């Protein structure tokens, strides 16, 4: 590996972090946009317009460029170390990356709808939808750090248990919000 490898790896990690930050925050903005659409006029328009601006800036200036750069630096790393492609952990990781890209494009679709004031989801659906990248993030971090050091059965059970705990937390949070 050459002298630039640590820099490329660092940039890959930085843009993964900013990509996830954008994905986490954009869906929160979706929740707020959907809630604002249920408010009376003129509050609906004032809040809705401001949230559209915020979402647009986040999506176009941070999230999309971060995804492109994270993928670009990831591809460069694989080109530099092609043996990784034969590793089980890398193949599973790339599967999670594919799921994250699909999630990103679904967010693009929701973003486009909300920019046109089309509300097709509930705030609670969006809160639940926001947990998908969390599961992917946990999965990828453990895969990359532990590589083949973790038994796949325990890893799969761990992710399922983690997802169940997230769903339970979501239901508890929903009950708390409904009481207020």
Does 104 carry a binding-site annotation?
A: no
CB atoms within 10 A of CB 134: 15
Supply φ then ψ for residue 39, to 5 degrees: -85, 160
- Taking the C-alpha atoms of residue 162 and residue 33, their distance in angstroms, rounded to an integer, is 28
Does the annotation place 12 within a ligand binding site? yes
Tell me whether residue 36 is exposed, middle or buried, using C-beta atoms within 10 angstroms of its C-beta: 0 to 12, 13 to 18, 19 or more.
buried
Longest pairwise C-alpha distance within the chain = 60
DSSP assignment letter at 58: I
**Residues annotated within a binding site:** 12, 93
**Residues annotated within a binding site for heme:** 12, 93
């Amino acid at each position: 590996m050459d002298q630039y490898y640590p820099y490329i790896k660092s940039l890959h990690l930085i843009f993964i972090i900013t990509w996830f930050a954008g994905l986490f925050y954009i869906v929160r903005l979706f929740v707020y946009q959907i809630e604002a659409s249920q408010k009376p006029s003129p509050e609906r328009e004032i809040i809705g317009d401001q949230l559209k601006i915020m979402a647009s800036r986040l999506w176009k200036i941070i999230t999309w460029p971060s995804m492109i750069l994270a993928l670009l630096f990831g591809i460069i790393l694989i080109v530099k170390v092609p043996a990784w492609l034969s590793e089980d952990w890398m193949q599973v990781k790339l599967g999670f990356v594919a799921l994250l890209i699909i999630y990103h494009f679904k967010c693009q679709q929701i973003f486009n709808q909300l920019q046109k004031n089309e509300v097709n989801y509930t705030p609670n659906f969006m809160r639940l939808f926001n947990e998908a990248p969390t599961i992917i993030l946990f999965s990828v971090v453990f895969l990359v750090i532990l590589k083949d050091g973790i038994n796949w059965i325990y890893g799969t059970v761990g992710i399922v248990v983690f997802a169940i705990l997230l769903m339970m937390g979501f239901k508890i949070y929903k009950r708390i919000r409904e009481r207020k």
